Structure 1
Amino acid sequence: MAVETRVMNCIMCPMGCELTVTIEDGKVTNVTGNTCPRGPKYANDEVTAPKRMLTSTVAIEGGVLPLLPVVSATVLPKERVMDCARFLRSVKINAPVKAGDVVVENILGLGVNIVASRNMELHQ
């Protein structure tokens, strides 16, 4: 039986608790150091299937700026974030765009939309 101990900072609330996580055969068996009940869930998710938000930009034609800030609507598997960022380099959209508009639907088949994070008016 392989036993591993990891120390990580929880990011689920402003407390930023330092968690000590015991992992046995790839499964979280114990979490200490948390001051709220979200710590153990965060530790388990981070060990078994880490996920991250993606913030980036895409090219925009006819906008008041050349790039439009975008964000993933939900979290992505951590190991696919760089693939998604590379894909976004090839995306070009047209102004105008409103914050919340879907820029890329179901990026790389992951079931996550990429949305505009600000309005972009048409350049006059």
Structure 2
Amino acid sequence: MKDVHLSRSAHEQQHIKLWSDRLSQMAEEGKLEPIKGSQAYRGEQAAAISDEDLLAVFQGRPREDEHQTTKKTWRIRTTQELDDWAAAGAREEHINTSALVRKAVAEYLEHHHRTALSA
């Protein structure tokens, strides 16, 4: 079978970016409601992503076009074992590692530092 290379026009790319940014904004504002009965998949053989996990992927994700004071990129060092564990956990929850880390940090702070200033 011959390889086929598909590319999107600049207009299509811009449309997709605007749509993605709007979804991210809605998720952060708590306004994104999954369509009842709909499902999202990471791949053809993957299990469906839960609505909660799908929202976790978008919620809290910084958007590059907005100059937010809360927009931060964390650079952390970790062991290979913890990296593998986090990657496996992310796959198990059907989210990316960044979403897993945001979720884990929020959960930790909720349980151990409730009096600290929340995000």
TM-score category, normalised to shorter length: under 0.3
- TM-score calculated relative to the size of structure 2: 0.21
- TM-score calculated relative to the size of structure 1: 0.20
The structure with the largest strand share of the pair is 1
Larger Rg: 1
The structure with the largest helix share of the pair is 2
